[in-house]
């Protein structure tokens, strides 16, 4: 019988966990409860828990500090973290300071809780992080990289370290691996078989990569896997190509020997920065799709194949100016019968007379732009387009540019409706100014810069803006920045980072503006948001 102590400031959470544990009364008993770490410390000697289930986000002493305290006690007490946040830093710090597992509240089930606690019975002398758990976090991070959902260099560096991923920031190669006989070896829709095969492939692949200075293999989706290699210290092209070929040869041989898997590989061009991995992935994915399934067991290098989209100027269709116009159009209300920027883009794309696979690269980039806009405005993609699969899977399932055109324009209309309706202003100049603020608020923008961007005088814009919006430019900009700060603020995030990420170059000024607009300090708002 294990004695369980519950530490959480939410009564409903504690009640829910007690309800789960009541199903296993012969194995576990709740010996004590506390609503804070300080309260828990006072009664530890009295209740003598074997395991502490603790929230990580609490006022005063937080969960990580509480974990450190428990780990420092003479008597061993197992510590399991509970949180609403799928946060890499929390996971890392919890495990670093003696925590033995990390459970997300919204994913917690009675069975998962039981399995976690059973592993902590006295017969279990040591407890380590399951390979599947680390692999899941690594997989999510790589997916975030290749889909352009994580772009900040500091965040990338932090996740590489905390997830123990041996990849440098420069000279990156993306190897896309496809399991050609995936359907037959996974028995079609046998989910358990798929999980086993995926785990085995990732495990074997990363064992092979351990002998190299860098590298990680993760599952992307279905029959596709990603292998990332970096050559920051290598300058010889011949040597790099030899390493790549050796990795592929070993992967192919071992997967065939142990799992009877036949694989094809596409090697991207070299990228000089890790933030450009999405481009590497698109190169490899486009070539793999073009090759089709007739090239079973193939090894293809992007640089050895003519990339038609580069030669015929396809990528010029989505140059920086077009990208800016597209982003601005999401925030600008459409007039009756007016052709949208998205429509003009697809009309031009159709004149290129290319097949769908040739256009795939540019469509993936377009989707990345839309996802970025959604993310910046805290909008879930499902809010602008329904679908059981991810947007990338939906796009991959299409076969014609016309299908993609309809799909993208539906996304545009939905997102435009959500964003443009939030705009005030009647004149085109003011709408453009609001759009400029919306897309550039993180930068040190000024009324001068806005007027220059729009193409009118500073004084005229100032007068027009005040008349239509009822606020001056600076006053509106500060209010918009504070609105965004409130959206991204959470209890783990440093307030100085929040200030910087919303365009404030000075924290004291951010503090002053925040209090003036909201009536409370940023710290007080964080506490209220957590309670709420």
> Which tens digits make up the pLDDT trace of 279-325?
888 888 878 876 665 456 788 888 876 444 444 444 466 777 788 88
pLDDT band at 266 (very low <50, low <70, confident <90, very high): very high
60 pLDDT higher than 90: no
379 pLDDT higher than 70: yes
Identify the burial level of 342 via C-beta atoms within 10 angstroms of its C-beta, where 0-12 means exposed, 13-18 middle and 19 or more buried.
Answer: buried
In this predicted structure, what is the pLDDT of residue 367? 85
In this predicted structure, what is the pLDDT of residue 125? 36
In this predicted structure, what is the pLDDT of residue 247? 94
In this predicted structure, what is the pLDDT of residue 356? 66
Least confident among 1-15, 190-204, 290-304 = 290-304
Q: Classify strands 172-179 and 224-230 as parallel, antiparallel or unpaired.
A: antiparallel
Nearest residue to 312 (alpha-carbon basis) of 353, 347, 363: 353
Please state, in angstroms and as integers, the Cα–Cα distance from residue 66 to each residue in 8, 52, 77, 93, 383, following that order. 12, 10, 12, 11, 38
Judge if 406 and 448 occupy the same domain.
no
Cβ atoms of residues 465 and 473 within 8 Å:
yes
* Mean pLDDT computed over 104-128: 72
Report which secondary-structure segment, H or E, holds 264.
strand 263-267
187: left (phi over 0), alpha (psi -120 to 50) or beta: left
**Edge-to-edge strands, sheet with 28-34:** 28-34, 2-7, 51-55, 78-83, 101-104
519: left (phi over 0), alpha (psi -120 to 50) or beta: left
In this predicted structure, what is the pLDDT of residue 6? 94
pLDDT band at 228 (very low <50, low <70, confident <90, very high): very high
Judge if 288 and 337 occupy the same domain.
no
* Mean pLDDT computed over 59-74: 84
Determine phi and psi for 227, rounding to 5 degrees.
-120, 120
101 pLDDT higher than 50: yes
User: Containing domain of residue 196, as a range?
Assistant: 133-305
Least confident among 300-309, 343-352, 450-459 = 300-309
Cβ atoms of residues 208 and 146 within 8 Å:
no
In the chain, how many domains are there? Answer: 4
Judge if 66 and 121 occupy the same domain.
yes
* Tokens, residue 388: 């059981």
Judge if 117 and 236 occupy the same domain.
no
Nearest residue to 367 (alpha-carbon basis) of 326, 312, 422: 326
In this predicted structure, what is the pLDDT of residue 129? 44
Judge if 139 and 282 occupy the same domain.
yes
Range from 94-108, 204-218, 301-315, 345-359 that averages highest in pLDDT:
204-218
More confident: 86 or 101: 101
Judge if 290 and 142 occupy the same domain.
yes
Judge if 327 and 352 occupy the same domain.
yes
- Domain end point (choices 288, 305, 322): 305
Judge if 141 and 276 occupy the same domain.
yes
422 pLDDT higher than 70: no
Identify the burial level of 527 via C-beta atoms within 10 angstroms of its C-beta, where 0-12 means exposed, 13-18 middle and 19 or more buried.
Answer: middle
The whole-angstrom separation of Cα 522 and Cα 305 is: 54
Please state, in angstroms and as integers, the Cα–Cα distance from residue 118 to each residue in 61, 75, 121, following that order. 28, 19, 6
- Domain end point (choices 90, 107, 129): 129
454 pLDDT higher than 80: yes
- What CATH number did the domain enclosing 213 receive? 3.30.70.270
- Residues in Cβ contact with 128 at an 8 Å cutoff, skipping those fewer than 6 apart: none
Mean pLDDT for the chain overall: 81
In this predicted structure, what is the pLDDT of residue 174? 92
Cβ atoms of residues 423 and 333 within 8 Å:
yes
In this predicted structure, what is the pLDDT of residue 57? 83
In angstroms, the first-to-last Cα distance of the chain is: 36
The whole-angstrom separation of Cα 500 and Cα 508 is: 11
pLDDT band at 126 (very low <50, low <70, confident <90, very high): very low
The whole-angstrom separation of Cα 261 and Cα 10 is: 49
Range from 92-101, 252-261, 384-393 that averages highest in pLDDT:
252-261
Q: Classify strands 216-221 and 224-230 as parallel, antiparallel or unpaired.
A: antiparallel
Judge if 123 and 156 occupy the same domain.
no
In this predicted structure, what is the pLDDT of residue 192? 79
Judge if 165 and 111 occupy the same domain.
no
- The 8-class DSSP code of residue 130 comes to -
- Domain end point (choices 129, 144, 172): 129
Judge if 124 and 149 occupy the same domain.
no
Judge if 142 and 253 occupy the same domain.
yes
Global pTM exceeds 0.85: no
28 pLDDT higher than 60: yes
**pLDDT (tens digit, 9 = 90+) per residue, 471-480?**
889 998 998 8
* Tokens, residue 11: 């009564």
In this predicted structure, what is the pLDDT of residue 335? 60
């Amino acid at each position: 019988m294990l004695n369980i102590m519950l530490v959480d400031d939410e009564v409903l959470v504690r009640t829910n966990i007690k309800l789960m544990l009541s199903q296993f009364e012969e194995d576990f008993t709740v010996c004590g409860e506390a609503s804070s770490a300080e309260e828990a410390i006072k009664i530890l000697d009295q209740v003598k828990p074997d395991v502490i289930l603790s929230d990580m986000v609490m006022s005063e002493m937080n969960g990580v500090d509480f974990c450190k305290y428990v780990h420092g006690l003479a008597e061993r007490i197992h510590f399991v973290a509970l949180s609403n946040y799928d946060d890499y830093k929390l996971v890392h710090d919890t495990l670093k300071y003696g925590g033995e597992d990390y459970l997300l509240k919204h994913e917690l089930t009675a069975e998962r809780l039981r399995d976690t606690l059973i592993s902590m019975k006295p017969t279990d002398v040591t407890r380590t992080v399951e390979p599947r758990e680390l692999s899941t976090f690594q997989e999510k991070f790589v997916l975030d990289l290749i889909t352009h959902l994580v772009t900040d260099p500091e965040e990338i560096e932090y996740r590489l370290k905390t997830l123990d991923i041996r990849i440098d920031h420069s000279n990156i190669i993306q190897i896309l691996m496809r399991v050609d006989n995936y359907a037959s070896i996974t028995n079609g829709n046998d989910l358990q078989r798929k999980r086993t095969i995926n785990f085995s492939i990732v495990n074997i692949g990363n064992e092979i990569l351990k002998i190299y200075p860098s590298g990680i293999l993760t599952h992307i989706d279905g029959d596709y896997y990603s292998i990332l290699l970096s050559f920051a210290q290598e300058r010889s092209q011949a040597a790099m190509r030899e390493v790549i070929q050796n990795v592929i040869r070993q992967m192919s041989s071992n997967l065939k020997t142990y799992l009877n898997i036949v694989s094809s590989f596409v090697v991207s061009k070299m990228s000089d920065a890790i933030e450009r991995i999405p481009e590497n992935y698109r190169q490899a994915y486009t070539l793999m799709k073009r090759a089709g399934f007739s090239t079973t067991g193939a090894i293809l290098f992007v640089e050895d194949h003519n990339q038609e989209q580069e030669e015929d100027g396809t990528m010029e269709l989505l140059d920086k100016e077009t990208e800016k116009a597209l982003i601005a159009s999401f925030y600008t209300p459409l007039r009756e019968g007016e052709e949208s920027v998205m429509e003009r883009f697809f009309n031009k794309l159709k004149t290129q007379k290319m097949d769908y696979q040739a256009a795939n690269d540019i469509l993936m980039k377009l989707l990345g732009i839309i996802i970025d806009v959604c993310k910046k405005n805290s909008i879930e993609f499902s809010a602008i387009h329904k679908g059981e699969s991810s947007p990338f899977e939906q796009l991959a399932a299409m076969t014609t540019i016309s299908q993609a055109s309809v799909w993208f324009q539906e996304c545009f209309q939905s997102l435009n409706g959500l964003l443009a309706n939030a705009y005030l202003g009647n004149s085109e100049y003011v709408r453009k100014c609001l759009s400029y603020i919306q897309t550039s608020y993180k930068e040190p923008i000024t009324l001068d810069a806005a007027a220059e961007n729009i193409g009118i005088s500073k004084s005229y814009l100032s007068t027009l803006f005040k008349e239509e919006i009822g606020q001056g430019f600076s006053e509106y900009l500060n209010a918009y920045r504070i609105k965004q700060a409130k959206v991204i603020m959470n209890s783990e995030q440093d307030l100085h980072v929040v200030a910087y990420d919303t365009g404030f170059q000075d924290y004291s000024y951010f503090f002053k503006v925040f209090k003036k607009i909201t009536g409370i300090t940023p710290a007080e708002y964080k506490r209220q948001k957590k309670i709420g």
